[in-house]
Amino acid sequence: MSAVFGRAMRAQFSLREDGSFLNHGSYGACPRVVAGEQARLRTEMESHPDAFMARMYPDRDIREPRRVAQQLAGITGTTGDRIALVENATTGVQAVLNSLPFGPGDHILITDHQYNAVRLGVEARCRDAGATPVVVRIPLPTTADEIVERVLAAAADRVRLVVLDHITSPSALVLPVERLIPELRRRGIPVLLDGAHAIGQLPLQLDTLGADWYVSNMHKWAYAPRGSAMLYASPAATPLTRPVLTSHYIGMGFPHSFDYVGTRDYTAWLAVPRALQFLSELDTSRLWAHEAHLVDTATTALLAAGAQVIAPASMSAAMRAFLLPQRRPAIDADAAQVIRTLWEQERIQIRCARIGGKLLLRVCAQAYVEADEMQALGAALARHGWPERQ
């Protein structure tokens, strides 16, 4: 495939022709060829369910999840025996939280930019164990130096785990994890990185990065079907790590105990190699250059409309978030109104969220997005002027 980005790339996807889809980071968009591969696998599964499922068992000669893990290892800088397949990044986070022996007096450190499901999972685990969640506040605007200072200041003796985003979800910040991980490890604090947005946006070398655990989704920036994600465990963390559900192969340990956990649809996992092939065919260096140009275009357009950047450009990849101008503290209904109005009146699909009293508009660049769509977003924002006219 000779990749021609922008409007010409839309033919590779099933997206509606009458919309601008600038929210790839939430749910992804599966290319037609990858969706076709999953459909083929489903037909194969239904034609002989017993034979198909037997290929998932971790104690057989043919073990399809291990083949997928090996391919993922090739693009993430590790080996296949350090990767387990899971349905989504949240499931991977839950597996780690449930695997560790927290107790009264222990602390789990997160930030206030954490993905909501992860925050809820940390809070639930703390309630069950009698532990305490510690939330590091990251102000907006911010810098990498400020984030490092705040996280390390909160990483006190009772912290038993630090959970950090590699790329935050609502604010699209690439956190300075390369600076944080060595210092946290020096203090003896394990680190779990939520890289839900990372594969396909950033180059990864997981063994070098040094986190104890790393989770990432395949369905976002790696073009795989929804329901495909990975959990990495370092050699030291491997013996501790078990799946959320106890099933037939729990005794085989990580990663094999994750491969077959009951009867489920494994076709999303098995379609990952075709998705990685699609990503490779795009040529990531060219794709990332296209996405960087789109983010630059969006930045110019949104600043002209009165929005404000929240961090230096070096802290963004294929997503960037902006503070919207406002006269009062934002409420959740404001974010919902922005999303609804932009789609219903402008046919622009976007992500808007509230952090504290501030309203964040997150822009996602993608292979199928054209620069004029980013300019149209800025023009729409200038016309509607949320929320200072409310």
Residues 6+ apart with CB under 8 A from 58: 65, 66, 249, 252, 256, 257, 259, 260
The first and second tokens of residue 74, run together, are: 């090739």
Element (H, E) at 92: helix 89-99
| Contact (CB, 8 A) for 312 and 141 | no
Residue 10 is given by DSSP the state: G
Instruction: Check: CB of residue 337 under 8 Å from CB of residue 169.
Output: no
What pLDDT, on a 0 to 100 scale, did the predictor assign at position 3? 77
Supply the pLDDT for residue 61: 87
Using CA atoms of 244, 247, 251, 256 in order, give the dihedral in degrees to the nearest 10. -70
**What distance in Å separates the CA atoms of residue 54 and residue 51, rounded to the nearest whole number?**
5
Q: Give 73-90 as a DSSP string.
A: HHHHTS-GGGEEEESSHH
Mean pLDDT by 10 residues, the chain (390 residues): 85 97 97 98 98 94 94 97 97 98 98 96 98 97 98 96 97 98 97 97 98 98 98 97 95 97 94 98 96 98 96 98 89 92 97 92 98 97 68
CA 189/CA 118 separation, integer angstroms: 19
pLDDT at residue 326, as a whole number: 83
In the chain, the N- to C-terminal Cα span, in Å, equals 48
Residue 103, SS3? Answer: coil
3-state SS of 24-47 is HHHHCCCCHHHHHHHHHHHHHHHH
Interatomic CA distance for residues 226 and 177, integer angstroms: 27
Q: Which residues pair with 360 in a beta bridge?
A: 323, 353
DSSP letters, 261-322, are -SS---HHHHTHHHHHHHHHHH-HHHHHHHHHHHHHHHHHHHHHTT-EE-S-GGG-SSEEEE
pLDDT number for residue 87: 96
Distances (CA, A) of 163 to 98, 180, 190: 14, 11, 9
Residue 389: the pLDDT is 45
340 forms beta bridges with none
pLDDT at 295: 98
